[in-house]
Amino acid sequence: METLPPTPHLLRDGSGSAKLAALAEPLRKPDMEILYVTDRSEVGRSDRGPEYSFGRATALAFGSATVALKPTPTWEELVRLSGQGDEQPSIALEMTKVDEVGKVVLTPQSLEVVERKLQRTAESQRDLELAKAQFVALVKSRLDQTASKDVYLYVHGFNNSFYDAIARSAILWHSIARQGVFIAYTWPAGHGGPFGYFYDRESGEFTIFHLREMLKVLAEVPGLERLHIIAHSRGTDVATTALREINIACRAKGEDPQHALKLETLMLAAPDLDLEVFSQRFWLENLGAVPKRTVVYFSSEDEAIGLSRWLFDSKGRIGTLSQIPFSATQVALIRQMPNIQLIECQVQGFASSHAYVFGNPAAMSDVVAVLRDRRDAGASNGRPLKPMGNGAWLLTNDYCAEVGETDADLPSSK
């Protein structure tokens, strides 16, 4: 069972407590409600609701999952503990309720041939429009409760369960003081066993269509001002491939994909993504221009990415980018595109070598600065990363550790 990680350094100036205390009344409770979208198969029902496994479903389901804190603090205790001092109580996250609001079935039986072309049957089209309306209403109802009109979408990686995705989303949402609306996009991973990685990899390919279509519907939610996508590990390939397809379709129609998606931030944490594939998508296909800000966290100590590199005989993985020397041409490109920020994380402790971004209080400080405050890299922007001379930035264990090193009143990057 997951536990709340150490308080990020950035929050120990009291800003975390202050933002939690200022939340609207319906949100002032220890329990957290995380919205979810999944194409995992349902394997039964329990007292808390539907149970989703690693199987691939013929339907895309959505709803909300409630995460309780154990032992349960009072709201006042939680506010105090979430932004001041070094006190680190052990608080576990328990998923207590799963409420499926709707689903849309996506099978060949939903189609018919009309004039030698496949199209949805009238019945399946009505079901699709109903599901879209339910999903939009669900997200809008949560946006209406918050002053921040941001949606944060988490796309998990290899060997993650439904619970893993919900718990990680709850940790991230709590770390940014429960601003905006948080959604876990949880695809059919977590097969396990010696060949589990290969099953999960193909599940990642299976889910791309569903994620792409969901992103297009999400962009239509009234009141949504900014979308932030946080992808981890294998989920980075899933997310960037879906965005690539939207990018191609938008540009073919003469549309601006950034405007269409309202994509503020694309965060790639410990990306399990081939370097040549990344370079092709972000430079040659101009995927780097779709988000206002792309932040990539990588580490030479990432053992899972090292294994992936060996499995696929890859020349390099973005997740271990520090092991690959940049050419002069690459350095020049990086320096000319400050909206793509490459962050080398030389951090130790608090989490596994693959989950360091979400467990280390220094790394999480930068995550908060990016997602909550929308700050760009550099001390003058309130993100005192160290420039490395090759266009990348360095993050170490002492990042934001000093009181007063960051200023909660610094302006956000708009």
Q: pLDDT tens-digit profile of 54-103?
A: 999 989 999 999 999 999 999 999 998 887 656 667 899 999 999 999 99
Q: Report the DSSP pairing between strands 111-114 and 117-120.
A: antiparallel
366 and 378 Cβ atoms separated by less than 8 Å:
no
DSSP string, 197-256: HHHHHHHHHHHHHHHHHHHHHHTTSTT--EEEEEEETTHHHHHHHHHHHHHHHHHHTT--
The Cα 206–Cα 21 span in angstroms is 42
CB 157 within 8 Å of CB 233: yes
C-alpha span between 294 and 273 (Å, rounded): 15
Tell me how far apart the alpha carbons of residues 334 and 368 are, in angstroms, rounded to a whole number: 23
pLDDT value of residue 321:
56
pLDDT at 306: 43
CA distance 16 to 178: 10
**Higher-scoring residue by pLDDT: 317, 46:** 46
- For the stretch 136-178, pLDDT in tens is 999 999 999 999 999 999 999 999 999 999 999 999 999 999 9
Q: What is the pTM of this model?
A: 0.91
* Residue 412: per-residue pLDDT: 45
- CA 145, 151, 156 angle in degrees (round to 5)? 130
Q: Which residue has the tokens 């932004």?
A: 83
pLDDT of residue 372: 96
| Tally of CA atoms within 13 A in the half-sphere of 146 that contains its CB | 23
pLDDT band at residue 192 using 50, 70 and 90 as cut-offs: confident
